[in-house]
């Protein structure tokens, strides 16, 4: 018999995103019919030919050896220039690390910042991966309540913090809520973090997908602070802006040189380096970034503007998301809880969505960082997340079938999780 697994990882449940992903694949296999996939943030459009050509060309030229753990200097220089020109962020090649996807960059960043007993502040409605990463790194997650319309309130965050708080995570535009924070809101959060001596992790995966308001990079608000005193670590991805999800490429702009040196060591142990031909593709993507990002934003915004209003008219969605790729629907009037709704919708209509309670998990963590038990915020009981970055025809079909399903459920409002 093999020894038991007693790690903290062994107590972390699989995220709702992966559970529904696997279930949708199983349904497809069993029925032989394509599922309408509104559950994954994977776009229907592709990277430009330049990106594919750069990848293939790098492979053919034998650019397939290890690079330094930090990434190719040319790619890092291109990312620094992009941050300067587009994000108003003052980074430097020495402080910028390439990672195999921003998810890995986030995980490594958390490993770099964690210390025994340290707490990380996450919003109560969050991307489940942020919570998993926090726990795996060894942080105790502290989930703070969001205000009206899922916006963070610095006073609430200050009250949730403790002397052990080390990190505040900001994700704007947000997954799953679509909230885009404005300059004042970000300024207030940064001020709080600075006063309390916290690090800030800014996950800007959806930086190019703002439909109302503009994207403000958190680090742009500390560009006049001496580098050694900066606290904002910013994480970016090629997955969303350039539709490069399967390439697995991201980058982290560390606040200061010390943080960059620490994260380099973490990455030495984790990845050795990022795929070399993929990094060449990344250089091509950054070279053509303005056109690609603008085109892709228009495509997703068009989807939002065309496909989501029927959900609003049906009373399932209050307003169009200001940013990101997702809409949170409230299906309370069907009387079904989120998980039952998602499962029945998949089985009866072949449409996959993510139950929203999975974005509001509340783990009870012991001193060793093991989850003793977990539950879900009761207010998330009827929330469903729909991705609107998918093919417009599929999206329309998915929304149509979802509305049909809601009608068939009737509107008793009685809770029958049955």
Ligand X SMILES: Cc1ncc(COP(=O)(O)O)c(C=O)c1O
Backbone φ and ψ of 287, nearest 5°: -60, -40
Q: Is residue 112 at the binding interface for ligand X, with CB under 6 A as the rule? A: no
Indicate whether 67 belongs to the interface with ligand X (CB under 6 A): no
Q: Does 205 bind ligand X (CB under 6 A)?
A: yes
Cα 47–chain centre separation: 20
- CA 57 to chain CA centroid, Å, is 31
Is 127 among the residues that bind ligand X (CB under 6 A)?
yes
**Minimal distance in Å, beta carbon 359 to ligand X?**
11
Nearer to ligand X, 42 or 50 (CB): 42
Q: Is 172 in the site for ligand X (CB under 6 A)?
A: no
Options 56-64, 98-106, 271-279, 292-300: segment touching ligand X (CB under 6 A): 98-106
Q: 170: phi > 0 → left, psi -120 to 50 → alpha, else beta; which? A: beta
Backbone angles phi and psi of 152, in degrees to 5? -75, 145
By C-beta, is 99 or 165 nearer to ligand X? 99
Q: How far is the CB of 29 from ligand X (least distance, A)?
A: 24
Instruction: Determine if 237 is a binding residue for ligand X (CB under 6 A).
Output: yes
For position 239 contacting ligand X by CB under 6 A, the verdict is: yes
Is there binding between residue 296 and ligand X (CB under 6 A)? no
Determine phi and psi for 209, rounding to 5 degrees: -115, 70
Quote the CA–CA distance of 149 and 5 in Å, as a whole number: 41
Displacement of CA 61 from its chain's centroid (Å): 34
Residue closer to ligand X by CB (options 48, 133) is 133
DSSP string, 301-314: HHHHHHHSHHHHHT
Minimum Å gap between C-beta 244 and ligand X is: 8
Stretch of 108-116, 237-245, 362-370, 381-389 contacting ligand X, by CB under 6 A: 237-245
* Assigned token pair, 164: 């052990």
Q: Could you tell me the smallest distance in angstroms from the CB atom of residue 85 to ligand X? A: 21
For position 47 contacting ligand X by CB under 6 A, the verdict is no
- Examine residue 203 and tell whether it contacts ligand X (CB under 6 A): yes
Contact between 102 and ligand X per CB under 6 A: yes
Q: Which stretch binds ligand X (CB under 6 A): 48-56, 71-79, 97-105, 136-144?
A: 97-105
Q: Which is nearer to ligand X, 124 or 203 (CB)?
A: 203
Positions in 250-279 near ligand X (CB under 6 A): 250
Contacts 24+ apart (CB under 8 A), 235-239: 235/102, 235/105, 235/106, 235/109, 235/201, 235/202, 235/203, 235/204, 235/205, 236/79, 236/102, 236/204, 236/205, 236/207, 237/101, 237/102, 237/205, 238/282, 238/285, 239/101, 239/102, 239/205
Q: Which is nearer to ligand X, 83 or 336 (CB)?
A: 83
Asked if 128 is part of the footprint of ligand X (rule: CB under 6 A), the reply reads no
Nearest CB to ligand X, comparing residues 352 and 406? 352
Which residue number, 277 or 335, has a Cβ lying nearer to ligand X? 277
Annotate 65-105 with DSSP letters as a single string.
Answer: S---TT--HHHHHHHHHHIIIII-----GGGEEEESSHHHH
Which residues, including other chains, have CB under 8 Å from residue 10's CB and lie 6 or more apart? Answer: none
Nearer to ligand X, 80 or 103 (CB): 103
Stretch of 99-107, 116-124, 302-310, 392-400 lying at the interface with ligand X (CB under 6 A): 99-107
Query: Which listed residue (103, 193, 345, 380) binds ligand X by CB under 6 A?
Result: 103
In 32-172, which residue ranges form alpha helices assigned H by DSSP?
A: 49-60, 73-82, 102-113, 128-137, 154-160
Q: Write out the residues near ligand X by the rule CB under 6 A.
A: 41, 101-103, 127, 171, 175, 203, 205, 237, 239, 245, 250
């Amino acid at each position: 018999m093999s020894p038991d697994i007693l790690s903290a990882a062994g107590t972390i449940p699989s995220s709702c995103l992966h559970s529904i992903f696997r279930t949708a694949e199983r349904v497809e296999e069993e029925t032989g019919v394509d599922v309408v996939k509104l559950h994954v943030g994977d776009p229907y459009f592709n990277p430009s030919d330049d990106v594919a050509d750069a990848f293939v060309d790098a492979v053919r030229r034998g650019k397939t050896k290890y690079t330094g753990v930090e990434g190719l200097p040319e790619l890092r220089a291109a990312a620094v220039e992009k941050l300067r020109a587009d994000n108003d962020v003052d980074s430097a090649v020495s402080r910028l690390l390439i990672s195999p996807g921003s998810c890995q960059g986030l995980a490594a960043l958390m490993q770099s910042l964690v210390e025994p007993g340290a707490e990380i502040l996450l919003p109560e409605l969050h991307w489940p991966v942020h919570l998993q990463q926090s726990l795996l790194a060894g942080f105790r997650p502290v989930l703070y309540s969001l205000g009206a319309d899922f916006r963070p309130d610095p006073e609430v965050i200050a009250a949730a913090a403790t002397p052990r708080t080390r990190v505040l995570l900001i994700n704007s535009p947000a997954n799953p809520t679509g909230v885009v924070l404005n300059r004042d809101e970000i300024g207030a959060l940064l001020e709080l973090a600075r006063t309390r001596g916290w690090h800030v992790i800014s996950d800007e995966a959806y930086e190019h997908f703002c439909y109302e308001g503009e994207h403000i990079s958190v680090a742009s608000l500390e560009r006049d602070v001496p580098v050694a005193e900066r606290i904002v670590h910013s994480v970016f991805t090629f997955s969303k802006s350039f539709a490069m999800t399967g390439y697995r490429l991201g980058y982290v702009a560390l606040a200061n040189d010390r943080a960059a040196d620490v994260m380099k060591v973490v990455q030495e142990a984790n990845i050795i380096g990022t795929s070399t031909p993929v990094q060449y593709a990344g250089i091509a993507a950054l070279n053509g970034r303005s056109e690609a990002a603008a085109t892709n934003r228009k495509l997703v915004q068009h989807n939002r503007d065309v496909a989501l209003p029927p959900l609003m008219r049906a009373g399932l969605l209050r307003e169009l998301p200001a940013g990101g790729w997702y809409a949170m629907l409230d299906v309370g009037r069907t009387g079904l809880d989120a998980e039952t709704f998602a499962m029945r919708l998949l089985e009866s209509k072949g449409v996959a969505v993510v139950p929203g309670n999975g974005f509001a998990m509340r783990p009870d963590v012991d001193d060793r960082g093991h989850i003793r038990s977990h539950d879900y915020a009761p207010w998330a009981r009827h929330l469903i997340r729909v991705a609107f970055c998918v093919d417009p025809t599929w999206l329309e079909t998915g929304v149509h079938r979802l509305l049909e399903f809601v009608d068939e459920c009737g509107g008793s409002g009685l809770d029958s999780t049955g």
